[in-house]
Structure 1
Amino acid sequence: MNSIRSRLLIWQISALLLAAVIAGALTFLLARRGFDQVRDYGLQQIAHSVLRHDVTPMPSLIGAEAATTPPSSDSETPITPPVAADTEEVDADPDEGQFVSQIWSPSGELVFSSLDDDGPTLQHAGFHQTQWQEQTWRTYTAKGNGRVVQVAVSIQDRDSAFYELLPGMLVPMVLLVVMLTLMIHEAVKRALRPLDSLRQQIGQRAVSELHALDTTDLPIEVAPLALTLNQLLTQLDQLLVSQRQFLADAAHELNTPLAAIKLQAQLARRAPSGEREASLNELDAGIERAIHLASQLLALARLEPDERTPQHSEVNWHEIVREVVIRLSPLAEARHADLGLLRCEPAVVMANGHELRAMLDNLIDNALRYSPPGAKVDVDLVTHGGQATLTVSDNGPGIPKDQRERVLQRFVRLHPGDTTGSGLGLSIVKGIIDACGGALQLKNTPEGGMTACITLPLIKSSHG
């Protein structure tokens, strides 16, 4: 499951369990070491305690005859009462976990044992482990006061005693792990609440609600996501506003030529046969204007951000320039204009070939449309400093300096009475240039007229 909550819980709980296992193992080892040290210390204390006290050998170990002979009244040596003569009898079963005490004479003769049997064999001084009765015994041997004392305990009994202590150590640790797991689950749940809140904010919105999300009290890890979403919502809102404005403007602009076409058709139908030809010519011109406007609207719609999927490739711009100039030459002749190509240096740019043709079509069409009869339109393409520069110059009325930014907007005409243009040509040119990463500059020439200067990054150029 691709869930942040699940990932956090899995990683944190896994880390907790791993830490608990390591801590449990270390606790076990340290506790066992401490337990063994305490039990060894107990062996030492018992051995040295026996050495500090006089103990009379048990009768069973000295012999029945010596045990039943009354003490002589002439004896000056006091006889110590038998050990544990008046105490409760101790069970000698080694499985009960008691310490086994043994006393030897310096010559190695066993003089006392807390068991009915001899017990583990005598070891050298210090701690040892030895086998006796198919068990491993831990022994401590000490010498002093003319005797050797050895105290032993079964390793099995020692293990049993230690394992009886384990539940008291491990149960609290298990409870702690369970408690921490619940706390981690609750902490992750609380930490992800801002994301749930953000999801609810977005999910409860209508399609038209594009105002900014509330970023108050969002943690710093979530705030960048909300801010990015707000930027996207703002862009979408601006795009929708632009589209609505575009549709409104397009409907308005299309209404005028279509109404004119309808009127011209009615006039042509009613006109006398001698005037019908002129009326049909007017109708044909109106249809051409409507077709031109529709094509301009389609070209502009393709440049919309939500519709535009740039498909740029290496384009021979000089070939496109030469092709467009040749194709539009008949149009220039029909308008009694001089369309010429000054220079056309080889230039390869990264762009869309169809868009570059549309751009040049609009520039030359504007120059021919708004220039007086007999106008001169020059096209020039040069390369320099890693850039290709195209200029389209005319000797028309030009554009006032304070209107040059305005004419790049949609449906803007400098002359309100102009019915031949759509007001979209330069807007389309600007959109294409921006998409190619180029620059557009409009300026008036000293001799009169306007020059459109377009600069695009050059991929490579060659001369020949």
Structure 2
Amino acid sequence: MNSIRQRLLFWQITALVVTSVLVSGFTYYLAWEAFNRVRDFGMEQIAHSVVRHGVRPHSWMLDRPEHPAPRATARPQPQDNPPPWVSDDLGRFISQIWSEDGELLYASVEGGGPPLQAMGFNNIQWAGEAWRVYTLEDDEEVVQVAKSVRDRASTFAQMVPWLLVPVGLLVLVLSVLIRAAVNRALAPLDALRQDIRQRDEKDLLPIDTRGLPEEVAPLGQALNQLLERVTRLLSRQRQMLADAAHELNTPLAAVKLQAQLTRRAPEHERGAALDELDRGITRSTHLVTQLLQMARLEADGRERQPVPVRLCQLAADTVSAFSARAEARGIDLGLDTCETATVLADPHDLQVLLDNLVDNALRHTPPGSQVDLRVEREANRVTLIVNDNGPGIPEADRPRVLERFVRLNPRDDATGSGLGLAIVAQIAQQNGGLLTLASSPPGGLSVRVSFSAHPADTASPDGTMPATA
């Protein structure tokens, strides 16, 4: 039973039935006690009426031999063989009168009723069944009235259905009202479900939460936040597709043109044409690679696995991977200061971040420049720094270069795509890092990415903890 409606109905109706059963039992007990008190009061009234008005003995009482009985002070033992003349009158009130000396003067049934009992109410066994007896004494005589308990219970049993009918109606009516109340209370959820179900994939407008109950309004607000994030994501993806199509159009058209020129070029010029074609293909390949990286980061479909990563080892591997390319361009690429430090991040993301930083520095610095990598640690922060002595970026333009497809000097950068720093910024954000751009000491650009140090590494700064590079 995984339905809120069914759960509410089950528990509420179950509570109603259990309560009704308890109330019925308590009501039965109170009604039985009240019924007995009323019947006892009636027996008292009969006894007082006999005392006040007196009773004239029947003729059979005058002819019957006298059977004087001593006044009882305690309950008598049950009699297994009652007189035969009592059986025809069982179930009625039995009235008896004794004189002061214990002589039976009157009995409402032939043969007499129960033996004389102590004053007040008594429960006795007589004639094979239970009796309720009331005895009253005045100045001249003793009056005793008896009533069969079985007859009293039989009379009360006829009243029980009338006691249960209101409870049954109460359960029935309240069950209907509870069901209606639950359906009405859950109506906003049904309306919200219907609203969402009727929408198509293009309708991402916010849900109207003004009429929702307090318990449902947070759900509607959360859905609106989700719709807003989805809208922003789709907008970024559409913008990215448009920008990617625009960016790919230029290098692909250039590659096509260069291929045509290479085919028509004379033999002595064909080598230069092929070099130009190779540069066009390299730019297109680089752009496609960065587009794939950005698409993966935007979709965020891969589940990240943060592990301890030693930045020094990662920086050293990156310098080694780009050393041949740097040497080909005459750029001095090296690892400067490297303090032992470990961060908790996705190693693949950090590798992509470093690759883009070094690649970006090598592309934008002229031959003969210097690019240095540094890993610094201060308190609980670890900072990865890439410095170059190239032309740098003016402070006013630094926020712009973190956007996608932004190139400050597109004519001077024939192979750049404007995605490198945007990818770095997104990776830093997704891994809890902070990216800042500043001027390097030689006057070029200094890119700094700061992370929180790994807690275990904070306690053991010697770097002996196993880490993944």
TM-score by length of 2: 0.90
Aligned equivalent of 1:196, options 187, 190, 194: 190
Q: In the alignment, is residue 233 of structure 1 matched against residue 224 of structure 2? A: no
- Quote the offset at 1:65 in angstroms: 11
- Equivalents in 2 of 1:216, 1:223: separation in Å? 8
Aligned position for 2:306: 312
* Alignment-derived partner of residue 252 in structure 2: 258
2:440 pairs with 1:441: no
Aligned residue identity for 1:392: V
Residue 376 of structure 1, CA deviation: 1.3
Equivalent of 1:454, from 441, 449, 452? 449
The answer to whether the aligner puts 1:420 opposite 2:415 as a matched pair is yes
Instruction: Identify which of 225, 236, 239 aligns with 1:242.
Output: 236
Alignment of 1:160-175 (within 5 A): 160-175=154-169
Q: Which residue of 1 aligns with 2:8?
A: 8
Which residue identity does 2:398 align to in structure 1? R
Task: Tell me the equivalent position of 1:145.
Answer: 139
How far 1:216 sits from its partner (Å)? 2.7
SS of residue in 2 equivalent to 1:330: helix
Q: Which moved more, 1:267-276 or 1:414-423?
A: 414-423
Structure 1 unmatched runs, 5+: 67-90
Name the counterpart of 2:69.
none
Which amino acid letter does the alignment assign opposite residue 399 of structure 1?
I
Residue type matched to 1:223 in 2? Answer: A
Residue 320 of structure 2 aligns with which residue?
Answer: 326
Report the CA distance shift for 1:390/1:116 in structure 2 as closer, same or farther (over 3 A).
same
Contact conserved, 1:314 with 1:348, CA < 8 A, in 2?
yes
SS at match of 1:174: helix
**CA shift digits 1:392-432 (9 cap, x unpaired):** 11111111111111100100000132322010000111111
Is contact 1:94–1:154 with CA below 8 Å preserved after alignment?
A: no
Q: 2:282 aligned with 1:288, yes or no?
A: yes
Partner SS state of residue 389, structure 2: coil
Alpha-carbon contact 1:136-1:154 (below 8 Å) kept: yes
Q: 1:105 aligns with which of 84, 87, 99?
A: 99
**How many residues get paired?**
439
CA distance in 2, matches of 1:191, 1:94: 63
Q: Does 1:127 align with 2:121?
A: yes
Q: Distance in 1 between matches of 2:430 and 2:54?
A: 110
What is the DSSP-based 3-state SS (H/G/I as helix, E as strand, rest coil) of the residue aligned with 2:453?
strand
Residues 62, 111 of structure 1: 8 Å contact kept:
no
- Kept after mapping to 1: 8 A contact 2:388/2:442: no
Aligned to 1:30: 30
Quote the residue 1:375 is aligned against: 369
Counterparts of 2:443 and 2:197, CA distance in 1: 60
Letter of the structure 1 residue corresponding to residue 453 of structure 2: L
Larger Rg: 1
- Which segments of 5 or more consecutive residues in structure 2 lack a partner in the other structure? 67-85, 465-469
The answer on 1:364 being equivalent to 2:358 is: yes
SS of the counterpart of 1:429? helix
Opposite residue 288 of structure 2, the aligned amino acid is A
State the one-letter code of the partner of 1:173.
V
- Does the Cα contact within 8 Å between 2:342 and 2:463 map onto a contact in 1? no
CA distance in 2, matches of 1:146, 1:179: 60
Cα deviation for residue 92 of structure 1 reads 8.5
Offset at 1:463?
5.8
Q: 1:92 to 1:355 in 2, by over 3 A?
A: closer
Instruction: Work out whether residues 257 and 289 of structure 1, in 8 Å CA contact, stay in contact via their aligned partners in 2.
Output: yes
Q: Which amino acid aligns with 1:122?
A: L
Q: Which 4+ runs in 1 deviate beyond 6 A? A: none
CA contact (8 A) 1:312 1:351 kept: yes
- CA shift for structure 1 position 145: 2.7
User: In structure 1, what is the Cα distance between the partners aligned to 2:293 and 2:345?
Assistant: 16
Counterpart residue number, 1:83: none
CA RMSD of aligned residues (A): 1.8
Query: CA contact under 8 A between 1:50 and 1:149: conserved in structure 2?
Result: yes
How far does the alpha carbon of each residue in 1:106-128 deviate from its partner, in whole angstroms, 9 at most, with x for none? 22221100001211111111111
Larger mean Cα displacement after TM superposition, 180-189 or 337-346: 337-346
> 2:337·2:375 contact (CA, 8 Å) conserved in 1?
yes
3-state DSSP class of the match of 1:303? Answer: helix
Paired amino acid for 2:116: L
Shift of 1:62: 2.6
Tell me how far 1:302 sits from its aligned partner.
1.5
Of residues 292, 296, 300, the one that matches 1:302 is 296
Which residue number corresponds to residue 341 of structure 1?
335
Q: SS where residue 298 of structure 2 aligns?
A: coil
1:24-53 per-residue CA deviation (whole Å, 9 max, x = no partner) reads 111100000011011111111111221223
- Partners in 1 of 2:89 and 2:421 — Cα distance? 109
TM-score w.r.t. the length of structure 1 is 0.91
Name the structure 2 match of 1:114. 108
Q: Distance in 1 between matches of 2:246 and 2:314?
A: 34
Deviation at 1:456, TM superposition (A): 1.0
Q: Name the amino acid aligned to 1:274.
A: H
SS class of match (1:392): strand
Query: Are residues 51 and 98 of structure 1, via their aligned partners in 2, closer, same or farther at CA, if it must alter by over 3 Å?
Result: same
Structure 1 CA distance for aligned equivalents of residues 153 and 105 of structure 2: 30
Partner of 1:270: 264
Give 1:189 shift: 1.1
Cα separation, 2, equivalents of 1:198 and 1:175 = 35
- Cα deviation for residue 369 of structure 1 reads 1.5
How far apart, CA to CA, are the structure 2 residues paired with 1:48 and 1:269? 138
Counterpart residue type for residue 405 of structure 2: F
Give the letter for the 1:438 counterpart: G
Fraction of identical pairs, as percent? 51
How far did 1:333 drift? 1.4
